[in-house]
């Protein structure tokens, strides 16, 4: 006799101190799990498997004592969460930011689990972070934080167990420090313990551009599905960091018109289109968009609601909420950031008929090429950039069409289709492996 369909628990009540406070829009883990619950119900997931997949395997909290240049001893808090490793080693970035919380890291680790399963690469999901402000640190202090944090979680790290990568406020140099620390503890060079490293020390060609390139590829496919072309499409990019700036540059090279961009310093708009190479040069010289003379400055929040065909939120979580979703005019939203759209906003966008390319697909180019880097490191044989880009395009295109097949088969939104594909792949591995007791 088959098990009855599960009824996932309702998310915890959210206290709203002010009716105009649009939360964050809710606890990030529960916001992500709301989508998981929906997919689990549609899949009629076994109740026992549901419990397994709704809980992270391991949550680590560490103290990170660091001697500042001033001689003062500071103690930071670090986290590492391994969400699920049934399909392979955990894979996930490390971020250094004052806003890092365990709930956020747990949500991001779960997203990595679904993302890797969705594009069908043999990784599980993890995430980590240290609560600190890198902008106030010298290079020496940043290195000491990185190495002490790495030493504190070193038991979980390894090419076959947990493989970090860059994330918010971390980069190739930070990955090099992590690799060196791990290698010194193991008394031999282990390049495959991290990805996103400098090419000179085992990094992959094409890795830096991979997330933005993936956004460009799936946007092109989505526009094609709508009978449109990327050439001539008007694009607005919220977040002009690594992902957003590269996505804008690659889309412009495909003929798109970039009408708006934004970063922490402000937003720019030009109905005729922005000169992306000139913008990139400006940001390299000034480290921000503010002050750029060849476009009109607009309010940062206004960037999300400008007239455009494609909107690329490529900054932080929860920027599209029930408050601004009704004003969005884009035909396609490509989620370059993790979790930029709240569950409440999803319903509004769906009713408006906006084609959403969910984050776990849209920004999966980064982890896909991280997988390529891991493979190259383990094999000691490195590919040229054309090979990397060609293989990335193949995986992203295939995954997009697998999502669309699920949308058409089950008459669900693109986001729920992605979760159904991912959750079923992780659940299938658990069924095949059985339960160790």
Residues assigned a catalytic role: 127
CB distance 416 to 406 below 8 Å: no
* φ, ψ at 104 (rounded to 5°): -65, -45
Can you say whether residue 158 is alpha, beta or left, with left for phi > 0 and alpha for psi between -120 and 50 degrees?
A: left
- The residue among 177, 185, 182, 169 whose CA lies nearest residue 129 is 169
CB distance 299 to 306 below 8 Å: no
Tell me which DSSP letter residue 267 carries.
Answer: E
Q: Residue 316 to residues 70, 113, 328: CA-CA distances in angstroms?
A: 32, 19, 17
CB distance 370 to 395 below 8 Å: no
Q: How far apart are CA 176 and CA 196, in angstroms?
A: 9
Token pair of 258, please? 């970039």
Find all residues with CB under 8 Å of 136, minimum gap 6, and list them: none
Q: Residue 99: in which H helix or E strand, if any?
A: none
Q: How far apart are CA 234 and CA 18, in angstroms?
A: 36
Burial class from Cβ neighbours inside 10 Å (0-12, 13-18, 19+) for residue 149 reads buried
Token pair of 390, please? 């060609």
Q: How far apart are CA 264 and CA 267, in angstroms?
A: 8
Q: Is 255 helix (H, G, I), strand (E, B) or coil?
A: coil
Q: Residue 258 to residues 106, 181, 210, 224, 234: CA-CA distances in angstroms?
A: 34, 42, 19, 18, 6
355-382 as b/e, with b when 16 or more CB fall inside 10 Å? Answer: bbbbbbbbbbbbbbbbbbbbebbeeeeb
């Amino acid at each position: 006799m088959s098990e009855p369909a599960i009824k996932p628990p309702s998310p915890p009540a959210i206290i709203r101190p002010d009716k105009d406070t649009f939360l964050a829009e809710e606890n990030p883990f529960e916001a992500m799990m709301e989508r998981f619950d929906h997919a689990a119900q549609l899949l009629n997931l076994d109740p026992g498997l549901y419990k397994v997949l709704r809980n992270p395997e391991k949550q680590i909290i560490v103290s990170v004592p660091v001697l500042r240049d001033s001689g003062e001893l500071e103690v930071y808090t670090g986290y590492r969460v391994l969400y699920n490793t049934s399909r392979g080693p955990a894979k996930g970035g490390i971020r250094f930011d004052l806003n890092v919380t365990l709930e956020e890291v747990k949500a991001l680790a779960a997203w990595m689990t679904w993302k890797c399963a969705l594009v069908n690469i043999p990784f599980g999901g993890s995430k980590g972070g240290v609560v600190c402000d890198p902008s106030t640190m010298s290079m020496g202090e940043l290195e000491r934080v990185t190495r002490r944090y790495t030493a504190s979680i070193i038991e979980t790290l390894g090419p076959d167990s947990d493989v970090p990568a860059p994330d918010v406020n971390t980069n190739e140099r930070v990955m090099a420090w992590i690799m060196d620390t791990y290698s010194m503890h193991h008394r031999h060079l282990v390049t495959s313990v991290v990805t996103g490293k400098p090419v000179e020390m085992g990094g992959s060609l094409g890795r830096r551009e991979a997330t933005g390139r993936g956004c460009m590829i799936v946007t092109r496919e989505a526009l094609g599905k709508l009978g449109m072309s990327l050439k001539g499409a008007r694009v607005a990019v919220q977040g002009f960091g690594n992902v957003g700036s590269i996505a804008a540059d690659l889309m412009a090279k495909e003929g798109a018109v970039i009408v708006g961009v934004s970063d922490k310093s402000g937003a720019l708009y030009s109905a005729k289109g922005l000169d992306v190479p000139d913008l990139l040069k400006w940001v390299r010289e000034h480290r921000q968009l503010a002050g750029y003379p060849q476009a009109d400055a607009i309010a940062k929040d206004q960037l999300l609601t400008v007239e455009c065909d494609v909107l690329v939120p490529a900054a932080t979580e929860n920027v599209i909420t029930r408050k601004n979703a009704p004003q969005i005019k884009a035909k396609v939203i490509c989620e370059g950031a993790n979790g930029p759209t709240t569950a409440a906003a999803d319903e509004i966008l769906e009713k408006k008929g906006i084609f959403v390319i969910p984050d776990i697909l849209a920004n999966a180019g980064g982890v896909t090429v991280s997988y390529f880097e891991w493979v190259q490191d383990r094999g000691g044989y490195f590919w040229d950039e054309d090979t990397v880009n060609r293989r990335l395009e193949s995986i992203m295109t295939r995954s997009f069409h697998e999502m669309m097949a699920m949308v058409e088969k089950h008459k669900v939104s693109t986001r729920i289709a992605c979760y159904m594909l991912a959750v079923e792949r992780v659940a299938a591995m658990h069924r095949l492996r059985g339960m160790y007791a």
